[in-house]
Structure 1
Amino acid sequence: MDKAIVTVLLTIGGVVAALAVFNGFYPAIIESSGAVSSATSKVSDRIESRIDIIQVADNSTEVDIWVKNTGSINIESVERSDIFFGPEDNFYHVTSGGSTPPYWDYVYEGSYTRWQPTVTIKVTVHLDSTVTSGTNIFKMIVPNGIFDSTTFSVD
């Protein structure tokens, strides 16, 4: 009889210990699988994204830059992109929107309302003075970190 009681108590203790271990590890396993899924989604987004600067034209205090989505997915929240502009030895970050230069804005070329694959946007950088003569740089970084840059000369 004593052996039966000891066996039952050890079995109950083993089950309780197993449940305690399971309850301790289960949330961590679920959380890590969510993190892996999120990281995979972000990597996939970056792999499928690409932009190419295809043309730059300066108009005294404005510079127009055409940028094409050459990736395979839509690029969302274009206004949250970072733009750097200026002489290659003294370029600066230009803010989106606003009414006092320097700032930048954009329009979709054609009748598009989203920056989907193959669509080009025209980015206009509004300056507070004329474009600096010499070599200038334009760099655009979209919200997911994909970027393209180009240099152009102004006489």
Structure 2
Amino acid sequence: MAQDVLTTAILIIAAIISVVVLVNAIYPALFTTTGSLTSVSGMASDRAKSDIRIVMANSPNSTALQVWVKNTGSVQVPDSRITYTDVYFGDKGTMARASPGSSAGLWWAYSLDDTDDNGHWDTGETLEMTLYDPGATRFTAGDHQIKLVLHNAASFEGTITI
């Protein structure tokens, strides 16, 4: 009888230790997974709330193209993140990426009409982008494609007629 009680007690203690070890092993993994899912969900929500529209385009000369883009989404883009925007321009099948800032090839610069002076590209504010092609080969008469990919990977395409 004493042997049975001792054996049962040892088995109960072993079971409790096993449960504690199992919980200590699984809980951090569940916590990490929950954090990852929350992060991915937040990024997807940010992308879904982003929206921009090309309002107008103008080519003042053969080496420059001005494009006005309005933020129509509910996500504000900090001024420091605007340069993280990828800009692609050209005809279907021959689009090229423009670099932010002055470079030898296709490049772009911007001016933000920050109406509330808060340093962000807010809903309703317009961004004037100027694309430069020093070789004067891309801004020819006709229809051209432009694609903008914001810092949060939300992308927008449009057709510009020069």
| Aligned twin of 1:96 | 100
Q: How far, CA to CA, are the matches of 2:56 and 2:18 in structure 1?
A: 67
| Aligned twin of 1:71 | 73
Deviations 1:16-45 (A, max 9, x none): 111111112111101111011101111111
| Aligned twin of 1:37 | 38
Normalised TM-score (structure 2): 0.87
- Once the two structures are superposed, the pairs formed by residues 1-155 of structure 1 within 5 Å of their partners are 1-60=2-61, 61-76=63-78, 77-111=81-115, 112=117, 113-130=119-136, 131-154=139-162
Question: 4+ residue runs of structure 1 moved beyond 4 angstroms?
Answer: none
Aligned residues: 154
Deviation at 1:89, TM superposition (A): 4.3
Q: How far, CA to CA, are the matches of 2:108 and 2:31 in structure 1?
A: 43
Q: How far, CA to CA, are the matches of 1:83 and 1:20 in structure 2?
A: 52
Between 1:127-136 and 1:90-99, the stretch displaced more is 127-136
Deviation at 1:88, TM superposition (A): 3.5
Q: How far, CA to CA, are the matches of 1:32 and 1:89 in structure 2?
A: 40
Q: Do 2:67 and 2:130's aligned partners in 1 also have CA atoms closer than 8 Å?
A: yes
Q: Do 1:86 and 1:132's aligned partners in 2 also have CA atoms closer than 8 Å?
A: no
Amino acid at match of 1:84: Y
Amino acid at match of 2:158: T
Q: How far, CA to CA, are the matches of 1:104 and 1:116 in structure 2?
A: 21
Give identity over the alignment, percent.
25
Normalised TM-score (structure 1): 0.91
Structure 2: tracts of 5 or more residues without a match: none
